[in-house]
A = this chain, B = another copy of it.
Amino acid sequence: MRSDFVAAVRRFNRTVTQRVGALDDEYMACGRPLAQARLLWEVGPDGAEVAALRARLGLDSGYLSRLLRALEGDGLVSVGPAEQAGGDARVRVAALTPAGRAAWAELDERSDGFASSILAPLTEHRREQLVAAMAQVERLLIASMVVVEPCPPGDPRARACLRAYAREMARRFDDGFDPALSNPVHDEELVPPAGVFLLATLNSEPVGCGAVKLHRDAPAEVKRVWVADTVRGLGVGRRILGDLERYAAARGWTTLRLDTNRNLTEAIAMYHSAGYREIEPYNSERFAHHWFEKQLDPPQG
């Protein structure tokens, strides 16, 4: 890694995350303990399930419970059973009381005030530059926080991706998409040694996937590449594809193939720029219009 890049990132971490972060916390806290303030914020005007709060804030179950009791004691939130009938009677929902709503609004206002105080001393031109640069940093940091790793296709997060994949294909293909009419992909084919399913997550939320089938005596085949639109354009698809290629290459396959629909223009552009070349149809996939192939480099090291 270039040492000037590393130094620049470190300087950024120091100056920005330390100073701005500390100030932001202070503004947020507003007299209250920081953890309580954060929790109050996360409960939000619409309320939230206790389990969701625990996941979002990454807190211990006991600790969260205690924090909720403290906020309840201050009359800011009320924790009760879930509204909807027939729901799980164990899950409880935290909601803001009127006083809590007021405190929340104050937090919101203070946050706005802090952001404004950062922009205020700058000229309009510099404000635009700062906002643009912040958006860029945020975008690229999000890209860098996406984790791609193997995952059983039966995992709920994998299932969520596969459902999202099917939904998107149904939406984008000219004549819809019915998995039953498409060449089937069975879970067993996406589990080593037959193949692999890769899941991309951002803060442990699923945001993309991809799979490869290692056919015996035939080129390996890429399937089910999908990226959530919240992280599109950040290179996640490219990373998934690259990892799939390395996976196949590491196991001795020298050729990778895939088929795709003509409406998936970004995907087609990505395959081209990743070194795939279009070939004659190698299967009778009903929803495919283009077939691609790439010769894999032998594994490094």
Contacts and interface: CB of A to CB of B under 8 A. Distances in A.
Interface of A: 1-2, 5-13, 15-21, 24, 111-112, 114-116, 118-123, 126-127, 129-131, 133-138, 140-146, 203, 235, 238-239
Indicate how many identical chains form the complex: 2
B235 A131 contact: no
B19 A16 contact: no
9 contacts: A1-B120, A2-B127, A9-B130, A11-B138, A12-B134, A12-B135, A13-B111, A133-B137, A133-B140
Nearest to A234: B126
Nearest to A148: B121
A24 B15 contact: no
Secondary structure class of chain A's binding surface, majority of residues? helix
* Residue with the greatest number of chain B CB neighbours at <10 A, chosen from A7, A10, A13: A13
Contacts of A8: 131, 134-135
A10 B116 CA distance: 9
Give 10 nearest A-B pairs by CB, closest first: A17-B21, A133-B136, A9-B115, A12-B134, A21-B21, A130-B140, A6-B115, A1-B116, A133-B137, A8-B131
Contact of A122 (B16, B18, B127, B143): B143
B123 A12 contact: no
